[in-house]
Every structure is written in structure tokens, then in C-alpha cells.
Amino acid sequence: MEKAPFLESLKFVKNTSQFIEDNYEKYGDFYKLSLPTDNIHVVISADLIQEMLVIKQKNYVKSKIYWGQLKQMVGKSLATIEGDEWLWLKRLQLQAFTPEKVNNYIEEVLEIATIHFDNWGKNKDPIDIIHEFSQMNISILTKVLFGIDGNSVKDKIANFIADGEEIISYRTKFPWRPFLAEINGRNRKYKSYLTFFNTFTEQVIKENKDSDKGKLIDLLIKESTVNTPEGKLSKERIRNEIVVHLGAGTETAAVGMGWAIYLLFKHPGFLKKVRKEIEDNIGQRSIRPDDVSKLTLTSWALKEALRLYPPSHALIRDAVNDDEINGEKIKKGDTFFFSTFGVHRNPRIWDNPTSYIPERFAKEKEFAKYSYIPFGAGRHTCIGRFLAEPMMILSLALFVQKFDFTMDIQEDVKPLSLSTLKPDRVLLTRLRKMIQ
């Protein structure tokens, strides 16, 4: 196994996506970092993702490096625990993401997106497209999952989520940073955010105490069939689920939409094809949930964006037992950085891996297993993926239907590996409403 020297390993910590992009040939698909505190291996092999996260998934659990920090900050939730309690929580929450429920959600998604886009169209100045999508996603998720109108607090929550994820990223990168966070004020900031979400949770529970629509909040409020350490799910535990779902569904989807729109701007030829698809299949009428099946090129545009710039750019796991992988001895406690970004651009897997070629998804069924994993792999695959993908496809189609758009960008935008894979600059977007 190749081993990156100490100074090189620090470059990995600084910006993992750039390091991986620069070192495909030098280190291969499975290598080790030289860091004084953690025994970290980097994995950019689809075969190893299948072996470790699917076949041997019980041996590789959520890592102390990222998920441990989230648990310290937020507490126990579906995102931060393992074992029987995690399995119970997942089964419970999957009931809110059945095909029937998702289809009902999508109708609300389109209604909310239309309202937001109409408001965006009134802006004469360029907008921060990712921030605007973050706010829109807050409005969507608070309504469809938690049965509450979140418009009055969408800006505040979007800022809290973005800043909270930056704090997690900061605390994760070096072992001494959680202590520095107590000194530099980051810990006080996230604690104030939790205070806000305590009040928000009280409001959500109050407004849904008699609800029987089967939304996620209804399941969380009414659940009492499992013996957790607290007994019935406490308000704090419900708060944790609200925070985690808003975090997972807001920032990631907004960043993904930002990249998709940026790439369409950079590739006007394919944007023209997407526009024609929408005109031919939908025309000027309102987009409906069942239009997803008609939006093949729009779907490819989104999927290629998620391939090139997966917002959830890594899966981090710790070994709970000794193992052997590719002839290498693995020790209990070793940490593994499964780079979604790395797998999605691996030249040993993909032809022209860094090129924007949405048409490659015409042969998606022929892709190597676990070579395309924007929503994760194994037991911790994103629980909301069946809502997220159609929501993003239809939102992208609605955006293209409503707007012509430009970006004042002279140089290529580069990805930054934070909690999500963000652009290295604000994607300021100028909108012009299409004539309808």
C-alpha cells in the first residue's frame, strides 16, 4: 500500500478533492495518510466500496472523525448512532418516504418552488443561487416533513445550517480544534443554534400534535414502541432529527442544484437540448410530478453534476474489528475515507472522467457497481434519496422553464471539500424571466 508523506497528507486535510484529483496515478485507489493522531486510509475504488460498505458493512461504522463531532454537537439521531436503536429509527422514518408519500410531497415541492422562483424573478440584481436554493429547501422540508410553514425562519435556518456545517468541518480536520472551538466562539455559536431549534421544535410539535398525515414529524411524535435510554422519544431527540434532516436535505440539495446550473451555464449546447426537451414535453403549462419520466435530458444534467461534484463527497467509517483488505492488514479503530468525489472521477473507472458528458447516463445500467454513489452506499445510504432526486430534477426543469440566466464567472470554479463539496466562490446568477 502506498503511503502519502506527512506534508502531502496535510494537503489532503486542507482540500481532499484537490489532493485526490492531483494524485490518481501517484497513490492508486487505496492508500494511507501519514498523520500523527489518526490511522486514515483513502479509498477511491468502487470494488472496495462494495466489499467494505456492503458485504462487510457491519465492520465499518460511522467514524469518530466526522460523525463523532456531529454527535457531540447535536446529540443522538439517525445520523449519529449505530446498532439496534439506529435500525429501529431507520425503519420508523422510512415509513415517511414510501413512493405514495413521496409523490404527495412532490406536489407540495412544486407549489413551493414556483412561489420562490416567482419571487426570484423580481430581483434586478444577481442572486446567490445556492443560498436561495437553501432557503427554498427549508420551506420545502419544513412543510413536507414537519408540517409547518417555515417561510418566516427560512433565512435564519439556512444560515444556521450552513454555519453549523462549517463548524463541524472545522472541528473535524484536526484533533485539537474541538478545544480551540471553545476558545474562538464556534462552540458558543452552535449552542445558540440549538437553543433556536429547541424553540422551533416546540412549535413544530404543537402544530402537529393532532396530525395523522403520516409525515415524518407525526411518526416521531407518536412513536413509543421501542425502549430507548430516554423511553419514548423526547423533545430533544425529535429536535435532533429535525436538525439532521434539515442539514442533510437543505445544504446538500442546494449545493447540488448550484453545480447543476453552473454546468448548464458552462455548456450552453446541452442547456439548449434541455430547454427543447421541456418545450416539447411540457410547453408552457405547469410542471407536474409525473413529468419526471419525460425529463430524460434534465435528469442526465442533474446526475452528471452530482457525478462531477457530489455534495456529499465522502463517507467516513471506522473499523470495529481487525480485517484484511486487498492483502493489507486492517486494525480495529482504523479510519477509512471513502471518497465519492474520487470514485466519480477515477480514470480507471470512467472515460473522460473530468469532462461534462450528461449523455453517458444513457448507459447508466452498464455502470460498474458502486461507481456512482451520490447518495451513499450500504446501510447508511441517504434515507431521503427517493424524494431528493425527483425534487431536484423537477426543480431544475422548472428553473430552466422559467429563466434565462447568466453567471459573471471568468475562470473555472473549483470545488472545496468542506462538510459539502462547495464551489470556491459565490455563484452569483442573473435571472431573466422567460416569456410565458
In this predicted structure, the answer to whether residue 434 has a pLDDT above a threshold of 90 is: no
Lowest mean pLDDT segment, chosen from 19-23, 30-34, 113-117, 175-179: 175-179
Span 202-225, average pLDDT: 85
**19 burial level (CB within 10 Å; 0-12, 13-18, 19+):** buried
* C-alpha cell of residue 156: 435564519
Terminal alpha carbon distance of the chain: 59
Q: Name the DSSP letter for residue 315.
A: E
Look at residue 435 in the predicted model and tell me its pLDDT.
62
Span 27-55, average pLDDT: 93
224 vs 351, residue with greater confidence: 351
Nearest to 97 by CA among 214, 239, 244, 201: 214
In this predicted structure, the answer to whether residue 436 has a pLDDT above a threshold of 70 is: no
Residue 30 contacts residue 48 (beta carbons within 8 Å):
yes
Look at residue 231 in the predicted model and tell me its pLDDT.
53
- Percentage of the chain modeled with pLDDT above 70: 97
Look at residue 85 in the predicted model and tell me its pLDDT.
87
In this predicted structure, the answer to whether residue 227 has a pLDDT above a threshold of 60 is: no
Span 234-256, average pLDDT: 92
In this predicted structure, the answer to whether residue 69 has a pLDDT above a threshold of 90 is: no
Span 419-424, average pLDDT: 93
pLDDT tens digits along 290-302: 999 999 999 999 9
Look at residue 169 in the predicted model and tell me its pLDDT.
82
In this predicted structure, the answer to whether residue 303 has a pLDDT above a threshold of 90 is: yes
Look at residue 73 in the predicted model and tell me its pLDDT.
85
Compute the distance between CA of residue 436 and CA of residue 433 in angstroms, rounded to an integer. Answer: 9
- Percentage of the chain modeled with pLDDT above 90: 72
168 vs 329, residue with greater confidence: 329
Span 89-94, average pLDDT: 91
Domains and CATH numbers, the chain: 2-433 (1.10.630.10)
Confidence of residue 136 (pLDDT cuts 50, 70, 90): very high
Confidence of residue 254 (pLDDT cuts 50, 70, 90): very high
Confidence of residue 186 (pLDDT cuts 50, 70, 90): confident
In this predicted structure, the answer to whether residue 228 has a pLDDT above a threshold of 60 is: no
Beta-bridge partner residues of 44: none
Q: Which residue has the cell 471513502?
A: 338
Nearest to 421 by CA among 346, 282, 288, 313: 313
Compute the distance between CA of residue 154 and CA of residue 139 in angstroms, rounded to an integer. Answer: 6
User: Dihedrals φ, ψ of 61, to 5°?
Assistant: -110, 170
Confidence of residue 225 (pLDDT cuts 50, 70, 90): very low
In this predicted structure, the answer to whether residue 91 has a pLDDT above a threshold of 60 is: yes
- What Rg value do the Cα atoms of the chain yield, rounded? 21
Span 219-234, average pLDDT: 67
170 vs 393, residue with greater confidence: 393
Look at residue 229 in the predicted model and tell me its pLDDT.
54
Confidence of residue 397 (pLDDT cuts 50, 70, 90): very high
In this predicted structure, the answer to whether residue 135 has a pLDDT above a threshold of 80 is: yes
Sheet holding 40-43, edge to edge: 2-4, 30-33, 40-43, 335-339, 314-319, 60-62
Confidence of residue 427 (pLDDT cuts 50, 70, 90): very high
Span 168-188, average pLDDT: 79
Span 112-118, average pLDDT: 95
Length of the chain, please? 436
Lowest mean pLDDT segment, chosen from 132-141, 166-175, 246-255, 343-352: 166-175
Compute the distance between CA of residue 229 and CA of residue 178 in angstroms, rounded to an integer. Answer: 26
Span 358-369, average pLDDT: 97
Residue 362 contacts residue 336 (beta carbons within 8 Å):
no
Beta-bridge partner residues of 324: 329
